[in-house]
């Protein structure tokens, strides 16, 4: 059957069971939009292309499926770049389709031409410039395979307009695996046995869970492993929810803003089991002081990550789910009462310190109060997305996620403006679940135009803005690194966010005092449609603990007074 290449792309998307695409039309991509007309695939028109990339990302993370976004050539494609880099940093499976100028114009600096494949080489797992229409079926199939297998990641397909318009015979290629593309799933048996021996002889074992646990759907295996060997579990930001935070073996997030007791446990363990984790600098602090007394087992599907940042003793390349299953075959139930007693002592000795900053009164609304009340009212059962900044760290500390794919945040790139469009994608992917976006006044203003997208599609997203009228995390960094020379961080003019919601015909609420928190938040969570809750919090509030640059993670500052460590 002869159809246009654009129609073939739509048919291939349907074969890949794509239900929704996020995009913004333009001249070069117009044939594909015409082919989407009347099809079952839902198209979500975002208000800016970066929103399409972040929404596809949130969709992928909430559902486990490949997220798809579309944009035209030139500025449409370049507006996707931050979202693509964000997905690459966090290993999120996405297929990005961009339009390109006519084949004969490529390289001529034509109107809205840009070398998007060249631009995105460093931030995609793979990308294509399609030169022959008959290659499209194989390329599309290949893109989905590459994006979703091995270590997941974004794949870009750049298609010239004339290629999209070319009539082809749509084939269904069967063998699309690229030559030499063979991700390793099964770990080396000898290395697994060696790891098992190290775990069985450990007195203070600790599991370090990374985002790979969620990517490989290994949460059940992680729970079984932890309970079998009675080892506490620490999480990276990307793996929050992979292990139930309510579980007695859970120690929460480690790293620069991790609880003191969590970081101290890492420092004192004698065997550290790193599962699907990159050992990035935000988690490790000063590398030489990271788990100094531990034998380190590192499991990751990407061999390039083994030993890249932190020394290892036992490397295992493979899918973390498959490796844990095999590892369990070589383990026996173990007890570590003295180690768990020590963990409990650390929790009692180093609790998260919650007290007002100098210049803040208890009568003021504090950020952690909002997060703790949200946790109480949702019972930790909502899908939470966050932007980047202080609110992100408070959410990681105080919102206790118990299920995978329910805490969605920008990790590697740290992208402000990510949280709200990611919530749009998550809500469309999981329409029956409550989705809450926790953001700051700075981050929300980077993508607040997507509120129109939420209103158009009647998405019941609840947006909680921790509003301190400034770029709080930058101000905090200036306090410690710039001798309190605050510059470029204060918002002297910003919208009334509750009224902003009203401009779209949606509900907006404001909370200024702790006494208003429960009644207003309860009403907001039960209000249909998208809702904004503007929470005015103290502008002097810092996120603690805080590990300063060059320090070990057990040297965290826990109070505003410089050098007051605990």
pLDDT tens per residue, range 290-341: 999 999 999 999 999 999 999 999 999 999 999 999 999 999 999 999 999 9
Q: Which one of the listed residues 111, 186, 197, 344 is annotated catalytic?
A: 111
Q: Which one of the listed residues 7, 48, 49, 261 is annotated catalytic?
A: 49
For residues 512, 513, 516 and 517, what is the CA-based torsion angle, rounded to 10 degrees? Answer: 90
Per-residue pLDDT band for 359 (boundaries 50, 70, 90) equals low
| Per-residue model confidence as pLDDT tens digits over 197-232 | 999 999 999 999 999 999 999 999 999 999 999 999
Told to judge if 49 belongs to the known catalytic residues of this protein, a careful annotator would answer: yes
pLDDT of residue 226: 98
Per-residue pLDDT band for 562 (boundaries 50, 70, 90) equals very low
Q: Which one of the listed residues 473, 500, 509, 541 is annotated catalytic?
A: 473
Residue 414 tokens read as 């740290």
Q: Which one of the listed residues 161, 260, 295, 462 is annotated catalytic?
A: 161
Query: How far, in Å, are 5, 62, 277 from residue 93 at the CA level?
Result: 24, 12, 17
Q: How far apart are CA 343 and CA 322, in angstroms?
A: 29
Cis amide bond preceding 383, omega within 30: no
Told to judge if 448 belongs to the known catalytic residues of this protein, a careful annotator would answer: no
Told to judge if 22 belongs to the known catalytic residues of this protein, a careful annotator would answer: no
Told to judge if 112 belongs to the known catalytic residues of this protein, a careful annotator would answer: yes
Cα angle 349, 355, 357; round to 5: 130
pLDDT of residue 566: 45
Max Cα-Cα span within the chain: 73
pTM exceeds 0.85 = yes
pLDDT of residue 180: 87
Question: Greater confidence, 43 or 174?
Answer: 43
Cis amide bond preceding 545, omega within 30: yes
Q: Which one of the listed residues 19, 112, 194, 478 is annotated catalytic?
A: 112
Q: Is the pLDDT of residue 561 over 70?
A: no
Told to judge if 161 belongs to the known catalytic residues of this protein, a careful annotator would answer: yes
Q: How far apart are CA 438 and CA 423, in angstroms?
A: 10
């Amino acid at each position: 059957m002869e159809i246009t290449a654009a129609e073939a792309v739509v048919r291939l998307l349907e074969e890949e069971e794509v239900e929704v695409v996020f995009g913004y039309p333009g001249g070069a991509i117009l044939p594909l939009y015409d082919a989407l007309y009347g099809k079952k695939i839902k198209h979500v028109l975002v208000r800016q292309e970066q929103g399409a990339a972040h929404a596809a990302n949130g969709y992928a993370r909430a559902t486990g499926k490949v997220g798809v976004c579309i944009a035209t050539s030139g500025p449409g494609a370049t507006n996707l770049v931050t979202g693509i880099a964000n997905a690459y940093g966090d290993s999120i499976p996405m297929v990005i389709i961009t339009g390109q100028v006519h084949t004969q114009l490529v390289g001529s600096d034509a109107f809205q031409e840009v070398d998007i494949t060249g631009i995105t080489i460093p931030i995609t797992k793979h990308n294509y410039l399609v030169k022959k229409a008959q290659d499209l079926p194989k390329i599309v199939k290949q893109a989905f395979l590459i994006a979703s297998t091995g270590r997941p990641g974004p794949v870009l397909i750049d298609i010239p307009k004339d290629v999209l318009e070319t009539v082809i015979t749509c084939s269904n290629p069967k063998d699309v695996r690229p030559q030499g593309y063979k991700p390793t799933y099964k770990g080396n048996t000898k290395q697994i046995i060696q790891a098992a021996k190290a775990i069985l002889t450990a007195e203070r074992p600790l599991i370090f869970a990374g985002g790979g646990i969620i990517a490989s759907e290994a949460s059940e295996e992680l729970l079984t492993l932890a309970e079998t060997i009675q080892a506490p579990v620490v999480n990276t930001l990307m793996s929050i929810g992979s292990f139930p935070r309510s579980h007695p073996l859970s120690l929460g997030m480690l790293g620069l803003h991790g609880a003191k007791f969590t970081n101290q446990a890492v420092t004192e363990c004698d065997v550290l089991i790193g599962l699907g984790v990159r050992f990035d600098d935000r988690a490790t602090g000063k590398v030489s002081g990271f788990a100094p007394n531990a034998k380190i087992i590192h499991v990751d599907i990407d061999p390039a990550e083994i030993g890249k940042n932190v020394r290892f003793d036992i490397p295992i390349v493979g899918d973390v789910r498959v490796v844990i299953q095999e590892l369990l075959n070589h383990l026996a139930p173990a007890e570590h009462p003295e180690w768990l007693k020590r963990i409990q002592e650390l929790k009692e000795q180093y609790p998260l310190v919650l007290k007002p900053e100098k210049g803040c009164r208890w009568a003021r609304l504090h950020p952690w109060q909002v997060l703790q009340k949200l946790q109480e009212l949702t019972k930790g059962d909502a899908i939470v997305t966050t932007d980047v900044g202080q609110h992100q760290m408070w959410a990681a500390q105080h919102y206790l996620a118990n299920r995978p794919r329910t805490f969605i945040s920008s990790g590697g790139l740290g992208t402000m403006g990510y949280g709200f469009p990611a919530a749009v994608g998550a809500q469309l992917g999981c329409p029956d679940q409550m989705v809450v976006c926790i953001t700051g006044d700075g981050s929300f203003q980077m993508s607040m135009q997507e509120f129109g997208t939420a209103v158009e599609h009647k998405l019941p997203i609840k947006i909680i803005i921790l509003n301190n009228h400034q770029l709080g995390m930058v101000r905090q960094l200036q306090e410690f690194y710039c001798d309190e020379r605050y510059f470029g961080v204060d918002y002297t003019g910003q919208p009334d966010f509750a009224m902003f919601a009203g401009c779209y015909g949606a509900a907006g609420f404001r909370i200024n005092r702790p006494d208003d928190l429960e009644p207003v938040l309860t009403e907001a969570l039960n209000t249909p449609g998208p809702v904004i809750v503007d929470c005015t919090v103290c502008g002097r509030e810092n996120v603690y603990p805080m590990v300063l640059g060059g320090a070990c993670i057990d040297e965290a500052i826990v109070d505003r007074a410089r050098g007051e460590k605990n």
